[in-house]
Amino acid sequence: MPKTRTLTVAWRIITQIRRDHRTVGLIFIVPMVVIGLLGYIIRLPAEDINLAIVNEDQGFSSPLGMSFSLGDELVEALQESEDLVISEISESEAEENLKAGEIDAVLVFDEDFTQRVAEEQRIEFILLLEGSDPALNTRVQGTMSREFIEAVQRIEGLPGGPPPFKLEVETQYLYAGQNFDTLDSLAPVFIAFVAFFLIFLLTGVSFLRERAGGTLERLMATPVTRLEVVLGYMIGFGFFALIQSAVILLFVIYILGIHYVGNPALIFLVEALLTIGSVNLGIFLSTYAKNELQIVQFIPLVITPQVLLSGILVPVEEFPNWLQGLAYLMPLTYANQALKNVMLKGFDLYQIGWELAVLAGFALLMIFLSALTLRREVA
Amino acid sequence: MEYVIETQGLSKSFGSLQAVREVSLRVEPGETYGLLGPNGSGKTTLMRMLVGLVRPTRGTGGVLGEEIPPDRVLSRIGYMTQAGALYQELTVGENVAFFGALSGVTSKERIQEVIALVGLEDRAKSTVGTLSGGLKQRASLACALVHNPQLLILDEPTVGVDPQLRSIFWDHFRKLNQQGVTILVSSHVMDEAARCTRLGLMREGSLLAEGSPGELKSQAGTGDLEGAFLKIAGGSHA
Ligand SMILES: Nc1ncnc2c1ncn2[C@@H]1O[C@H](COP(=O)(O)OP(=O)(O)O)[C@@H](O)[C@H]1O
Ligand SMILES: [Mg+2]
């Protein structure tokens, strides 16, 4: 048995959870299954895109009699793409086939395509989509812009020689490389979310049981102080949260092979601050719950807005201003930002200083609130 | 003479309900003082005020020389609640060790000793959740005793306990008494009342009468405590 009362409380929490195999599974196995499945789905090889090309390009004739059709060249270059199945059709067929679902997209080069590119030094093309499937839309657009860039680069090396005007596409990736996928940016926020959500739920239920089972009353009749109880809870649950983060981190790095350049100590620091906030939020809100179901009822109130607004699904920067304001009230927003910056961009302690400060402030506020509700007057 | 517990006009209201009314109580060292009264008469609330779990609405009180709430002397008080209140996932030994550690007792010998005292040696490693009601009650008593408290506040410690075990419990209390431990115990069972050195009869929050079992019987002019209680308390208690 530990020597101090705080550690005694922490020891008790750890022992209780260790005994409860379902909870242990919930903490360690479930997150790995979820992120594993998510990773699998995200990385499923996409089906080829059926692209029909309507090529009416009349080409470009220089005063010296040289002729060149960028449309023809691009059709040829796009044929080499591995993700596209190309067919050439007439404009009248195009719409029909698109509606019938036989093709996914139609690329149109109109009569003066080359002419215009030569004059404006800018490539613009028309892409027709059926439009009713947003997931397909996004995928086609993404693939097309990538393939198009590659096709243009390929033209340079064609046996017919480079086109008589400059075609240059430049893409620079500031961090990591172009084979960066959705999972890479999802993994950091997943770690933060899982820790916050599970620890909130577990503390809430634990504390509720402590109240309902009368052990809190008994605890308060011993020399242990409110602060010691709160600290004990923080250490006990923090212990599991940090091991959980380590397990998820190792899993996503070594099994799922996500890109990772950060300092693990910083990840644990962010995680620890977030957990302190979430443990105390659990204690605080458990005061307002009469049973386990009522703890679960806090999820739409506490967890859902954070999932929607903290940038897990849509980056916060893309929100309208008023919604950004709301997002920046959520602790998870800061944890997500800090973890993304550390894991993907290798930020150091000072670069995530602001996020850490906000998380620490949130943790302090929650400690204050939970200690306040944990008055001597238990009943 | 220093009283172990001394209150003056101690009262507690929950909204318009007066749970405890003007209770002035004195418990001397080495006594076994029994609080006797039907359900809802305010016994639990009175005890909770004494350990500092509930703030009195009015009145004053002292426990072991400390004004209530007696934060500084909590390590010398053993408190056992009506509900038993143990951690179901922990073993008997772990529960006792946990409450011991919170009161500053970490000696393994003491923990084993107190488990043996309540007769749970062979169940020390059993998870509390798997024990019967009676055994849980014994484990709960062990948690209240582990730190050798000078004052035991026991709220209906034998509720739901079979008569045989109840008798074992009271033998313990007697022994502790002889070692100088003061006991405040609540009950609504009359045969337990007879084993107290002094009794306080409670009804609707008020302390109606005090005295040894013998004094109460002669005061009421009845041959048994049950009759004495009915007569003093007005006859209509549950
Ligand atoms: N926390 C509380 N809030 C409101 N009423 C309470 C509370 N605790 C006790 N009471 C009421 O105070 C009265 C005395 O209760 P209690 O002290 O538990 O009596 P006893 O222990 O003698 O059965 C009862 O009417 C009970 O309903
Ligand atoms: Mg009671």
Question: Under an 8 A CB cutoff, do B102 and A224 touch?
Answer: yes
Distance of CA A101 to the CA centre of its chain: 31
Q: Which ligand is nearest to the CA of B205?
A: 1
Please choose from B13, B14, B20, B156 the residue to mutate so as to test ligand 1's pocket, defined by most ligand atoms within 8 A of CB. B14
CATH code for residues A49-173: 3.40.1710.10
All residues of chain A having their beta carbon less than 8 Å from the beta carbon of residue B94 are 12, 15
**B151-186: per-residue pLDDT in tens?**
999 999 888 778 888 888 899 899 999 999 999 999
CA B42 – ligand 1 centroid, Å = 6
Q: Say how many C-beta atoms besides its own lie within 10 A of residue A374's C-beta.
A: 25
Closest CB to A377: pick one of B53, B85, B94.
B53
Residues with CB under 6 A from ligand 1: A 379; B 14, 17, 19, 37, 39-45
**B80-103: per-residue pLDDT in tens?**
987 779 999 999 999 999 999 999
For residue A50, what is the enclosing H or E element? strand A49-55
Residue B229: the pLDDT is: 80
SS3 B27: strand
Q: What is the mean pLDDT of residues A69-98?
A: 84
Count helices and strands in chain B by DSSP H and E runs: 8, 11
For the CA of B38, the nearest atom of ligand 1: 22
Question: Under an 8 A CB cutoff, do B74 and A222 touch?
Answer: yes
Residue A44: the pLDDT is: 79
Whose alpha carbon is nearest atom 21 of ligand 1?
A: B44
Residue B237: the pLDDT is: 44
Q: Rounded distance, CA B183 to CA A122, Å?
A: 94
Residue A173: the pLDDT is: 52
Question: Under an 8 A CB cutoff, do A220 and B52 touch?
Answer: yes
For the CA of A379, the nearest atom of ligand 1: 1
Question: Under an 8 A CB cutoff, do B52 and A221 touch?
Answer: yes
Confidence of residue A353 (pLDDT cuts 50, 70, 90): very high
Whose alpha carbon is nearest atom 9 of ligand 1?
A: B45
CA B129 – ligand 2 centroid, Å = 23
Please choose from B16, B17, B82, B159 the residue to mutate so as to test ligand 1's pocket, defined by most ligand atoms within 8 A of CB. B17
Confidence of residue B73 (pLDDT cuts 50, 70, 90): very high
Please choose from B44, B79, B201 the residue to mutate so as to test ligand 1's pocket, defined by most ligand atoms within 8 A of CB. B44
Question: Under an 8 A CB cutoff, do A222 and B84 touch?
Answer: no
Closest CB to A5: pick one of B52, B97, B102.
B102
CA B19 – ligand 1 centroid, Å = 6
Q: What is the largest CA-CA distance in chain A?
A: 100
Per DSSP, helices labelled H in A287-312 are 292-296, 299-302, 304-309
Which burial class, exposed, middle or buried, applies to A362 when counting CB atoms under 10 A from its CB (0-12, 13-18, 19+)? buried
**Residue A313: is its pLDDT beyond 70?**
yes
Closest CB to A377: pick one of B55, B84, B97.
B55
ipTM score assigned to the predicted complex:
0.89
Average pLDDT, chain A: 83
All residues of chain B having their beta carbon less than 8 Å from the beta carbon of residue A20 are 89
Produce one character per residue of A139-152: b if its CB has 16 or more CB atoms within 10 Å, e if not: bbeebbeebbeebb
CA A379 – ligand 1 centroid, Å = 10
Confidence of residue A376 (pLDDT cuts 50, 70, 90): very low
Distance of CA A225 to the CA centre of its chain: 40
Q: Rounded distance, CA A293 to CA B99, Å?
A: 29
Residue B228: the pLDDT is: 80
> A4 to chain B, minimum CA–CA distance in Å?
8
Which burial class, exposed, middle or buried, applies to A44 when counting CB atoms under 10 A from its CB (0-12, 13-18, 19+)? exposed
For residue B23, what is the enclosing H or E element? strand B17-23
Q: Rounded distance, CA B185 to CA B152, Å?
A: 8
> A226 to chain B, minimum CA–CA distance in Å?
12
**Residue B41: is its pLDDT beyond 50?**
yes
Q: Rounded distance, CA A240 to CA A228, Å?
A: 19
Single out the residue of B59, B66, B63 nearest to residue B29, CA to CA.
B63
> B226 to chain A, minimum CA–CA distance in Å?
31
Please choose from B35, B36, B45 the residue to mutate so as to test ligand 1's pocket, defined by most ligand atoms within 8 A of CB. B45
Confidence of residue B47 (pLDDT cuts 50, 70, 90): very high
Mutation choice for B interface testing from A9, A11, A12 by most B CBs within 10 A: A12
What is the percent of chain A with per-residue pLDDT over 70, rounded to a whole number? 91
Nearest CA in chain A to B50: A221
Confidence of residue B13 (pLDDT cuts 50, 70, 90): very high
Cβ atoms of B111 and B121 closer than 8 Å: no
* pTM of the model as a whole: 0.81
Q: How far is CA B202 from CA A82, B21, B156, B178, in A?
A: 89, 10, 14, 26
Q: What is the mean pLDDT of residues A2-10?
A: 91
Looking at domain B5-233, its CATH architecture is 3-Layer(aba) Sandwich (3.40)
Confidence of residue A281 (pLDDT cuts 50, 70, 90): very high
Residue B230: the pLDDT is: 79
DSSP state of B150: S
CATH 3.40.1710.10 residue window(s) in chain A: 49-173
Residue A176: the pLDDT is: 47
Give the lowest-confidence range in A88-92, A182-186, B141-145: A182-186
Q: Where are the domains of chain B?
A: 5-233
Residue B18: the pLDDT is: 94
Residue B113: the pLDDT is: 94
Which burial class, exposed, middle or buried, applies to A138 when counting CB atoms under 10 A from its CB (0-12, 13-18, 19+)? exposed
**A141-180: per-residue pLDDT in tens?**
777 777 777 777 777 655 555 555 555 555 455 554 445 6
State yes or no: cis peptide before A188, omega within 30 of 0: no
CA B37 – ligand 2 centroid, Å = 9
Q: Rounded distance, CA B142 to CA B134, Å?
A: 13
Phi, psi (degrees; rounded to nearest 5) at B13: -115, 140
CA B79 – ligand 1 centroid, Å = 18
Question: Under an 8 A CB cutoff, do A221 and B79 touch?
Answer: yes
Residue A379: the pLDDT is: 47
What is the percent of chain A with per-residue pLDDT over 90, rounded to a whole number? 24
Question: Under an 8 A CB cutoff, do A19 and B90 touch?
Answer: yes
**Residue A318: is its pLDDT beyond 70?**
yes
Mutation choice for A interface testing from B66, B89, B94, B128 by most A CBs within 10 A: B89
Cβ atoms of B155 and B82 closer than 8 Å: yes
**Residue A371: is its pLDDT beyond 50?**
yes
Name the more confident of A168 and A105: A105
Rank A50-64, A135-149, B114-128 by mean pLDDT and report only the highest. B114-128
> A223 to chain B, minimum CA–CA distance in Å?
5
CA B238 – ligand 2 centroid, Å = 14
Nearest CA in chain B to A220: B53
Residue B48: the pLDDT is: 94
Type of residue numbered A2 = P
Name the more confident of A59 and B123: B123
SS3 B5: strand
B interface with A, Cβ–Cβ below 8 Å: 48, 51-55, 69, 71, 74-75, 77, 79, 81-90, 94, 97-104, 106, 127, 143
Pairing of strands A49-55, A84-88: parallel
Q: What is the mean pLDDT of residues A285-290?
A: 88
CA A107 – ligand 1 centroid, Å = 79
> Hey, what are B131's tokens?
């024990």
Name the more confident of A306 and B127: B127
DSSP state of B118: T
Confidence of residue A25 (pLDDT cuts 50, 70, 90): very high
